[in-house]
């Protein structure tokens, strides 16, 4: 408030600068030296420095399960994570199909049916087709209880004009997962990765950022750290699950980019 505002003028309902305080305002007697509110006391201690957003946990010892790991996206993620040294289990509705895919990948990858994959994993990536998303999660609710679930499913439709986003009743695939798995810690990530690049053994680095969404910072940071295990990749916090729809929908735009420019486009977030 400036020195010439109306509150400094007694005619405007204020009081003069040197007038005594009104009766309802109590005066506080000076405290003797050494009292708790003196400088140097705990109440005057500097606030702790904010946490470095890039100080992420070590996730190298966690087992990662990939539901839908026999599909292109799931298989590519399994390959990249296993190549980075992560223990990976591929899940499928058919255990023999999962074991066959795991054998082709090598790198210590194991195959199992979806239920066993979920039970044995610390982190479970959901990479199933959108039309089987709800049913898959409903049948695995018990096995996924207490697990960190990473949903990377993109609800998309296709017509003669190309890809377009679908909006689930819950708002997004990730929010549908959270509704179906109340006992799990649901996050969303790995939406914008090219399955072609992920599976290409001649490519050493995947030059892209991974947008990670979730409700708990600790869970988000685990997923960020997991993304960072893949050379060239970086996990970036992108908000809570209520923001997942636009992240999932952006894949429709990337598909259009890829078709026009004959590319395998990804994303980079600048200035962070």
**pLDDT tens-digit profile of 25-70?**
444 445 555 544 444 555 667 888 888 889 999 999 999 999 999 9
Instruction: Kindly give, in sequence order, each residue whose CB lies less than 8 Å from that of residue 128, ignoring residues fewer than 6 positions away.
Output: 67, 68, 71, 74, 136, 153
Pull the structure tokens for residue 272. 């962070």
- The burial class, CB within 10 Å (0-12 / 13-18 / 19+), for 18 is exposed
Nearest Cα residue to 131 out of 87, 77, 168:
168
Write out the H or E segment, with its range, that includes residue 136.
helix 133-139
Per-residue pLDDT tens over the stretch 162-204:
999 999 999 999 999 999 999 999 999 999 999 999 999 999 9
Task: Provide the strand spans (E) within 46-86.
Answer: 63-67
**What is the pTM assigned to this prediction?**
0.81
How far apart (Å, rounded) are the C-alpha atoms in residues 135 and 25?
65
């Amino acid at each position: 408030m400036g020195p010439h505002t109306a509150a400094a003028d007694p005619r405007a309902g204020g009081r003069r600068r040197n007038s005594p305080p009104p009766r309802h305002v109590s005066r506080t007697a000076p405290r003797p030296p050494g009292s708790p509110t003196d400088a140097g006391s705990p109440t005057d201690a500097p606030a702790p420095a904010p946490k470095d957003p890039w100080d992420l946990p070590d996730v190298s010892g966690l087992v990662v399960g990939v539901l839908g790991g026999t599909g292109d996206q799931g298989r590519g993620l399994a390959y990249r994570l296993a190549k980075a040294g992560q223990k990976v289990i591929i899940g499928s509705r058919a255990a023999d199909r999962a074991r066959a895919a795991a054998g082709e990948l090598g790198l210590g990858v194991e195959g199992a049916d979806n239920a066993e994959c979920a039970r044995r994993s610390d982190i479970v990536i959901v990479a199933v087709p959108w039309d089987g998303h709800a049913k898959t999660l409903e049948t695995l609710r018990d096995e996924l209880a207490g697990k960190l679930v990473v949903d990377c499913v993109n609800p998309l439709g296709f017509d003669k004009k190309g890809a377009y986003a679908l909006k689930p009743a819950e708002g997004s695939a990730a929010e549908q997962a959270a509704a179906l798995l109340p006992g799990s810690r649901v996050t969303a990530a790995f939406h914008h990765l090219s399955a072609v690049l992920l599976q290409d053994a001649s490519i050493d680095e995947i030059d892209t950022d991974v947008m990670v969404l979730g409700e708990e910072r600790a869970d988000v940071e685990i997923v960020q750290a997991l993304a960072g295990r893949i050379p060239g990749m970086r996990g970036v916090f992108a908000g809570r699950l209520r923001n997942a729809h636009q992240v999932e929908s952006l894949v429709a735009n990337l598909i259009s980019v890829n078709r026009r420019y004959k590319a395998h486009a990804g994303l980079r977030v600048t200035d962070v």
